[in-house]
Amino acid sequence: MMWTTEELGIRENLLPGVLLRESIGCQVDPGKRQSPSGFLGILSQSSESSGVALRVSSRKASHVPTGLHLMSKMVARTPGFWKALGNLESFTLGEDMNSQEIIKPIFVSGVARSGSTILTEVISQHPRLACHHYSDFPITWIPYWWNSLRKHLPLPKQEPQERAHRDRLMITGDSPEAVEEVLWMHFFPEAHKSDCSHVMGEQESHPQFEKYYRDHIRKLLIVRNRQRYVAKNNYHVTRIEYLLKLFPDARIIIPIREPVQQVASLIKQHRLFNQKNAEDSRVARQLQLSGHYEFGPLRCPIIVDESRQAHYRHDLEEVAWYANQWADVYSFLHKRMNENQMLAKACLVVRYEETCSRTEKSLERLFAHLDLDDEWAEKIIEACAPTINAPDYYQVSFTAPQQELIQELTSATAETYAYS
């Protein structure tokens, strides 16, 4: 049996990230669609010494919706209440919870700006998969009640708009988003401290969190009426062995990008969010509340080795800071996959360049690894592949010394991923 694109739900208004603009730069022919002006100010690229310099509107602006910010702070200040409410929600679902299995959950995790968003956008279109949406934050703790309530609210029609990253990805409240990190931050308060390792291996044990997390996933599956869970979370790179301990049949996707290009994209975003915070001081706090520490004034590295803390000093040049982050994380992942065969079997490394240039083959390999290579996947690939290609909306222009520095810091790790 074959399905049409409409039967699959693959329509332009349901696939904004793929059919309009993509978070890692992959995009459709810009002549086919016009991007509406965003609400985060005006960005442009220039060829200054940073390689990714930005010019942003200097006027003061509001970049964080007031209602969202107030609600986010309220939830963050009362986590005990929301956790208890989540437990009550689980209790009231009774038999539904007991009968809901967690089968082959999917975790997408890599250093930011590696292609994780487009991969999550694509696979989340499969009708068996459930993921968190932008609209799940900040009421993340009670996914069943919150989503059930939203179904009955007279919500206005959502028009896709460019997300805060100003990377041409168009989103709505129903677009996939990394939301579950707020749960991890509550149960693991040191998750984003810069003075300790963030690695969580097979020896990790937190029974209260593990039960809560499994219940949370079950509730999302029930309310979405789906069979498998998918989560995009950059911070899972240091937790993959712990996740595999919790879910031995999990599938893990590790996106990666050529280091010079990825470092350039990271710096571009960091400067953008610093500028936005200069215009609206709530930006940094909102990033913190939602569990995003990759960019901005409160930026915090992913620490895989406590001895490497000096490589993330506040006064360190941006190029070195992000090159160190790239090298540390991907060398850690390579080492763990080499030493843990079960982990290696569960993981699939997806190169950004192949996603853009050999899209169909790359997506076919992706769905096969997820055990989702069926007719649904064929239709999704058919709809999405023609829309994805390499970015052309900014150019990398590092100086020669900066390029040499990136190569010096990343070359050994890059070679293990077939980057020359």
CB 419 within 8 A of CB 258: yes
pLDDT at 53 over 50: no
pLDDT, one tens digit per residue, over 90-118 is 999 999 999 999 999 999 999 999 999 99
The answer as to whether 1 is a domain residue is no
Residue 174: Cβ within 10 Å count: 15
Pairing of strands 129-130, 228-232: parallel
Q: What is residue 350's three-state secondary structure? A: strand
Residue 205 is part of a domain; what is its CATH number? 3.40.50.300
What's the domain count of the chain? 1
The answer as to whether 46 is a domain residue is yes
Q: How large is the greatest C-alpha to C-alpha distance in the chain, in angstroms?
A: 63
Report the distance separating Cα 82 and Cα 92, nearest Å.
Answer: 15
Confidence of residue 60 (pLDDT cuts 50, 70, 90): low
The answer as to whether 393 is a domain residue is yes
Identify which of 145-159, 231-245, 306-320 has the greatest average pLDDT: 231-245
> Which residue in the block uniquely carries the two structure tokens 């070195």?
320
pLDDT at 35 over 70: no
- Token reading at 65: 């919706």
CB 128 within 8 A of CB 372: yes
Report the distance separating Cα 278 and Cα 419, nearest Å.
Answer: 37
pLDDT at 24 over 60: no
pLDDT at 7 over 80: no
Confidence of residue 32 (pLDDT cuts 50, 70, 90): very low
The answer as to whether 316 is a domain residue is yes
Confidence of residue 159 (pLDDT cuts 50, 70, 90): confident
Q: What is residue 346's three-state secondary structure? A: helix
Pairing of strands 170-171, 106-108: unpaired
> Which residue in the block uniquely carries the two structure tokens 């999302």?
220
Mean pLDDT throughout 303-323?
Answer: 89
Identify which of 20-24, 41-45, 342-346 has the greatest average pLDDT: 342-346
pLDDT at 27 over 70: no
* Mean pLDDT (the chain, rounded): 86
ω into residue 138 within 30 of 0, thus cis?
Answer: yes
The answer as to whether 215 is a domain residue is yes
pLDDT, one tens digit per residue, over 162-220 is 787 877 778 888 999 999 999 999 999 999 999 999 999 999 999 999 999 999 999 99
Q: What is residue 232's three-state secondary structure? A: strand
> Which residue in the block uniquely carries the two structure tokens 């004034």?
297
Domain that residue 81 falls in: 6-416
The answer as to whether 187 is a domain residue is yes
The sign of the CA dihedral 38, 39, 42, 44 is negative
The answer as to whether 386 is a domain residue is yes
pLDDT, one tens digit per residue, over 124-146 is 999 999 999 999 999 999 999 99
